[in-house]
Amino acid sequence: MPLKLQPLEEPQLNLTPMIDVVFNLLIFFMVGTRFADLERQFDVQLPQVSAAQPLSNPPDEIVVNVYADGRLLVSREELSRAELQDRLTTARERYAEQAVLIRGDGGASFQQIADVLAVCHAAQIRNFSLATQLDSE
């Protein structure tokens, strides 16, 4: 019975494909960066429009907190009814479908909530809602 006298071949890691991929990625990012620089260099006079709407998401709803003592807080800022109406009118002028969420304290009188609803009506806000909480019983 003949014995193998040749030494076993040690495994080798072929790095050529990995180096090719790295070089291709390097070239891709270098060329992509160069095109981005060239695009910004054009001196273009953009057209002007009179009434353009932004191509963005609608703004978040305005949250009006009504406390039991009658205070009104919007974005951690205490406002009077007139200031609230000005803020809501400005928001509606910027975005016609501006949403308002009214969070009334459970101990507040309904008159205070009705006053905020009247302010919304005066500011021509049509998209408003009253926040409630499920009873835990």
- Give the DSSP letter string of 63-101: EEEE-TTS-EEETTEEE-HHHHHHHHHHHHHH-TT-EEE
Q: 93-119 pLDDT, tens per residue?
A: 988 889 999 998 888 888 888 999 999
User: If you classify domain 62-130 with CATH, what class do you get?
Assistant: alpha beta
Q: 37-66 pLDDT, tens per residue?
A: 555 555 666 667 777 666 567 788 899 999
Say whether 128 sits in a helix, a strand or coil: strand
pTM of the model: 0.56
Query: How many angstroms separate the CA atoms of 7 and 3, rounded?
Result: 12
Other Cβ atoms within 10 Å of 120 Cβ, number: 22
Q: Calculate the CA dihedral of residues 90, 95, 99, 102 and round it to 10 degrees.
A: 0
Query: How many angstroms separate the CA atoms of 125 and 88, rounded?
Result: 7
54 vs 132 pLDDT, higher one: 132
Q: Please name the residue that has the structure tokens 């809602």.
A: 129
